[in-house]
């Protein structure tokens, strides 16, 4: 593996890890269930994409690369689907999103 | 018939890409399983444009890079928001009319909204997507309707 590719790989892996951690921080810091889902979304998209991109730079042949890309494609389909199921389950069980008090009059459309 | 052929090609391509072993036995096994699956699917009567993706598969070439760029921008915004000491969020629920005519198009639209951090689609009521947005800016991004138009363009004519 050439030097430039190794550097690219580690930069992507490090950046992906940072975004994954930021997503985790978001889950802790954000106030309620629905806002926390946005934090989890960072880990799911940016964290996963950058880490897989970093691994892609290290793949020994095109086949490993294809499989990594497929993992990414499936992640990008399954993670919003599961997120949607999660949000619907919360709504169905009567959990209301906490909205911004200052602006609820303008957008009072809570289901 | 068109869908059966495209499904067969898709399955064969998947087999070749993922196995990578060019020996007679493996290739025969792959061929047999592809034919068997096409036969099963035909018997079950579930062959349609969603299963075979014959028309849908080519157009995302332009959509995916655009979506990835949107995801990147939104990720940076939300990451900075989370790390900012004041945590200045104003969560809201908005409703956006979706112009898609097919179920698959609606799924792509709703999933694209969820993939973009700052907005999560939490429900679908007919042709309206209910979205939870983290800030006013992220809500405005969805309300602008750019994504809606792009996904509708993906559907093409049906």
Give me the domain span that covers residue A63: 3-95
Instruction: pLDDT tens for chain B, 158 residues: list them.
Output: 777 888 888 889 888 888 888 888 989 999 999 999 989 988 887 776 555 555 555 667 788 888 899 999 999 988 998 888 888 888 888 888 888 888 888 888 888 998 888 888 888 888 888 898 888 888 888 888 888 888 888 776 54
More confident residue, B61 or A71: A71
Residue in A with minimal Cα distance to B19: A63
Our count of domains for chain A comes to 1
Place of tokens 């655009």: B66
* Residue B148 burial (10 A CB sphere; 0-12, 13-18, 19+): buried
pLDDT of residue B56: 55
The number of angstroms, rounded, from the C-alpha of A49 to the middle of its chain's C-alpha atoms is 8
**Sign of CA pseudo-dihedral B58, A82, A55, B80:** positive
- A99 at B interface, C-beta within 8 A: yes
pLDDT number for residue B58: 65
Residue A25 has pLDDT above 50, yes or no: yes
Q: Is A86 exposed, middle or buried (0-12, 13-18, 19+ CB in 10 A)?
A: middle
pLDDT of A8 above 90 = yes
The neighbour count for residue B10, using CB atoms within 10 Å, is 16
Nearest CA in chain B to A36: B134
Residue B125 DSSP SS3 = strand
Residue A14 forms part of a structural domain = yes
Per-residue exposure over A40-77, b if at least 16 CB sit within 10 Å of its own CB, e if not: bbbbbbbbbbbbbbbbbbbbeeeeeebebeeebeebbe
Q: What is the pTM of this model?
A: 0.80
Tokens of A5: 């590719």
CB-based contact B71 A110, cutoff 8 Å:
no
Which class for B126: exposed (0-12), middle (13-18), buried (19 or more C-beta within 10 A)? exposed
**By a Cβ cutoff of 8 Å, what residues of chain B touch chain A?**
17-18, 20, 68, 71-72, 75, 78-79, 82-83, 87, 89-95, 110-123, 130, 132, 134, 136
Q: CB–CB of B93 and A99 under 8 A?
A: yes
CA distance linking residue A48 with residue A71, whole number of Å:
10
- Summarize the confidence of residues A37-49 as an average pLDDT: 89
Percentage of chain A with pLDDT > 90? 37
Inter-chain contact A35–B89, Cβ cutoff 8 Å? yes
**pLDDT number for residue A106:** 47
What tokens does B116 get? 């973009």
| Distance to chain A for B115, nearest Cα, Å | 6
Pull the structure tokens for residue B61. Answer: 């070439």
pLDDT at position A74 over 50: yes
Residue B22: the pLDDT is 83
pLDDT category at A50 given cuts 50, 70, 90 is very high
Confidence (pLDDT) at B53: 58
Q: B72 vs chain A: nearest CA distance in angstroms?
A: 7
């Amino acid at each position: 593996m050439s030097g430039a590719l190794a550097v690219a790989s580690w930069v992507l892996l490090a950046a992906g890890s940072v975004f994954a951690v930021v997503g985790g921080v978001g889950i802790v810091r954000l106030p309620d269930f629905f806002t926390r889902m946005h934090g989890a979304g960072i880990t799911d998209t940016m964290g996963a994409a950058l880490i897989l991109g970093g691994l892609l730079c290290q793949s020994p042949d095109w086949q490993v690369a294809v499989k990594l890309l497929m993992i990414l494609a499936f992640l990008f389909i399954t993670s919003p689907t599961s997120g949607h199921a999660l949000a619907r389950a919360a709504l169905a069980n009567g959990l209301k999103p906490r909205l911004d008090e200052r602006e609820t009059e303008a957008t009072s459309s809570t289901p | 018939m068109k869908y059966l052929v495209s499904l067969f090609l898709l399955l064969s391509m998947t087999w070749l890409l993922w196995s990578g072993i060019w020996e007679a036995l493996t290739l025969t096994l792959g061929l047999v399983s592809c034919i068997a699956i096409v036969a099963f699917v035909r018997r079950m009567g579930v062959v349609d444009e969603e299963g075979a993706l014959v028309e849908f598969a080519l157009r995302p070439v332009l959509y995916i890079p655009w979506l990835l760029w949107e995801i990147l921008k939104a990720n940076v915004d939300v990451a900075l928001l989370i790390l900012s000491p004041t945590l200045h969020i104003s969560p809201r629920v908005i409703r956006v009319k979706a112009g898609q005519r097919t179920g698959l198009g609606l799924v792509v639209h709703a999933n694209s909204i969820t993939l973009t951090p700052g907005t999560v689609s939490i429900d679908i009521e007919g042709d309206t997507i209910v979205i939870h947005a983290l800030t006013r800016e992220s809500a405005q991004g969805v309300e602008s309707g750019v994504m809606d138009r792009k996904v509708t363009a993906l559907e093409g004519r049906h």
